[in-house]
Structure 1
Amino acid sequence: MLFHDDLINKLLTEDVPYGDLTTEEMGISGVQGEMIFRARFDCVLAGADEAAAILKKLGAELSISAANGKVMQAGDHIMTAKANAGILHKGWKVAQNIMEHATGIATRTAAMVAKGRAINPDLIIACTRKSFPGGKTICMNAVLAGGGTPHRLGISETFLLFSNHSNFFPDEQSLLAALTKAVKAQPEKKLTVECEDLDFAEKAIKAGAGNIQFDKVKADKLHEYIPYLRQKYPYVTLEAAGGINIETVAEYAMTGIDVAVTSFVYTGKPMDIEVVIRPV
């Protein structure tokens, strides 16, 4: 995904709205230096491309050893930025924070992908839009770096019928009629319907749904649902959401689902990135 200048400017303005008081008052702003980034732990790197864009925007000269998606060992060099101390300190925490949070997401995503695909090699780990507000671009880039797939970038480009939509219809018949109408109006899309049981899933498929997303349905039930639907409706994509994390992904992968939908990757510790700034 693109990392636009307006986001770079927003992130820099948030941390450096009026300059760097400490560096300026200590009289070192013009001293030439270098800032070295290294992985402190084994991880899957993310946020490095975004950090590089920020440092370039500030005018730093970069020597880059690793990009988003690279599997890193503790101590591996990521990049070195050369500029005066004023520029380096302005970009320091913005770049480091992005890499630490994004690398945490990418590393957790990669762990889920590996665990799920050890059982089902074709399983897609789809990460939801429950990223932290304002951080969608960084989070989605991190998901991609970890081998996952964005579930939905927003509500404008994908159709997902939740129970909170269904609540506005007086009965199931009118709901399914509206779904059929929506399917005809969006012929280039596979419409997704959230389901909690097999009966409604079949009705949604017959109404034209191309994707069925089982929400908070236990894996033992999906062991019954998925083979039945796979045999009868092989063209339908079958997804599971709700409670899927690093501890449960293998259990759900064994059900035969196509897609495991998760928000797990966004919760957890950032992955420490070592930063050293020194004069040259």
Structure 2
Amino acid sequence: MIPIDHLLGFIEEDAPWGDVTSDAVIPDVVCRAEVHAKAAGTIAGLAEARALFEHYGVAVRQRIADGKSVSPGEALLELEGSAKAILLVERTALNIIGRMSGIATKTRSCVETVRTVSPHVRVAATRKTCPGLRVLDKKAVELGGGDPHRFTLSDMVLIKDNHLAVVPLPEAIRKARAGSLYRTIEVEVESPGDAVLAAEAGADIVLLDNMSPAEVRGAILALEEVGLRQQIIVEVSGGVTGATLAAYAGTGADAVSMGALTHSVENFDVSLTILKGVQSFRLE
């Protein structure tokens, strides 16, 4: 669960001096409302929306768990409480659900595509997330069945091309290993020869960057020929799209990472409607 203080920061951004519209025109009354899906997909963000509503004293009945498939018109949350509180949280909650569900839905689609080709290949996210929203974006990937990959630069060593422009590949791996025995070391390479060099130098993961599916198969074959394939994880990344995902999944790689899961989010449509003249669900 995302810390409530993190979520409250979104309310502070949206209403730094309160909701002047509701404060001016809405009486201090209790009402009921419902949040509905307006599209089909994988739902996410309900736990965060619920936490926000409950923080402001609104009773919430969650109709479905995060990570489940939903249909257009399906009820997601039932709310009961102060009309002002519901309207204060409304847009922030819907934005969270919409973004997280969009990511989860896209991730689930990609995971299902990969499973038809190779059930063991993992679909992973990258650090191409919206600043301030990474924890939500990564959670949404997990709810969609994907792997979040590293959350921060502090999590693991990932030696990329700009590192290798300064330090030679074997030396970079040696220095990373000397720094700690307990950190995973991944190295980004762009040729079969460098993939072998990285594996020979002691990398745990080789990231084959911006290679075609044929080039990925060639790199994996090169690792097999020197007897290093089984001791290393092979990840593919760089411009992978829905159109090319199946081809990459069939190369023999262990994981395919996609910035598109989080850097180009298609919002999942949800709505909140205040109900009139209905019985309290807390009395049912």
| TM-score using structure 1 length | 0.94
- Shift, 1:227, TM fit: 3.5
- Shift, 1:279, TM fit: 4.1
Q: Secondary structure at the match of 2:135?
A: helix
Partner of 1:194: 188
CA distance, structure 2, for counterparts of residue 178 and residue 248 of structure 1: 32
Aligned residue pairs, count: 274
CA distance, structure 2, for counterparts of residue 197 and residue 9 of structure 1: 46
Matches within 5 A, 1:60-71: 60-71=58-69
Conserved 8 A contact 1:47-1:68: yes
Partner of 2:7: 8
Q: Secondary structure at the match of 2:206?
A: strand
1:229 matches 2:223? yes
Conserved 8 A contact 1:112-1:245: no
- Shift, 1:207, TM fit: 0.9
Structure 1 range deviating more: 177-186 or 124-133: 177-186
Conserved 8 A contact 1:160-1:191: yes
Partner of 2:281: none
Deviations 1:39-87 (A, max 9, x none): 1111100111111111111111011111210111112111111111110
CA distance, structure 2, for counterparts of residue 8 and residue 57 of structure 1: 10
Conserved 8 A contact 1:31-1:279: no
Work out which of the residue numbers 108, 111, 122 in structure 2 matches 1:110. 108
Deviations 1:170-195 (A, max 9, x none): xx3xx413412322432223310000
Work out which of the residue numbers 220, 243, 252 in structure 2 matches 1:256. 252
1:189 and 1:230, CA in 2 relative to 1: closer, same or farther beyond 3 A?
A: farther
CA distance, structure 1, for counterparts of residue 232 and residue 145 of structure 2: 23
Q: Secondary structure at the match of 1:105?
A: helix
1:205 matches 2:202? no
Work out which of the residue numbers 58, 74, 77 in structure 2 matches 1:76. 74
| TM-score using structure 2 length | 0.93
Amino acid at match of 2:29: V
1:272 matches 2:269? yes
Conserved 8 A contact 1:176-1:207: yes
- Shift, 1:230, TM fit: 4.4
Q: Secondary structure at the match of 1:115?
A: helix
Deviations 1:130-183 (A, max 9, x none): 1111101110111011001112101001110001111113xx3xx413412322
Conserved 8 A contact 2:159-2:172: no
CA distance, structure 2, for counterparts of residue 104 and residue 254 of structure 1: 26
Partner of 1:129: 127
Percentage identity across aligned positions? 28
Q: Secondary structure at the match of 1:156?
A: coil
1:40 matches 2:38? yes
Conserved 8 A contact 1:69-1:145: yes
CA distance, structure 2, for counterparts of residue 243 and residue 107 of structure 1: 20
Partner of 1:17: 16
Conserved 8 A contact 2:192-2:218: no
Conserved 8 A contact 1:32-1:279: no
In structure 1, the gaps of 5 or more residues are none
Structure 1 range deviating more: 262-271 or 54-63: 262-271
Deviations 1:212-268 (A, max 9, x none): 001101111112222342462101000110011211110100101101011111214
**Runs ≥4 residues deviating over 6 A:** none
Partner of 2:152: 154
Conserved 8 A contact 1:48-1:68: yes
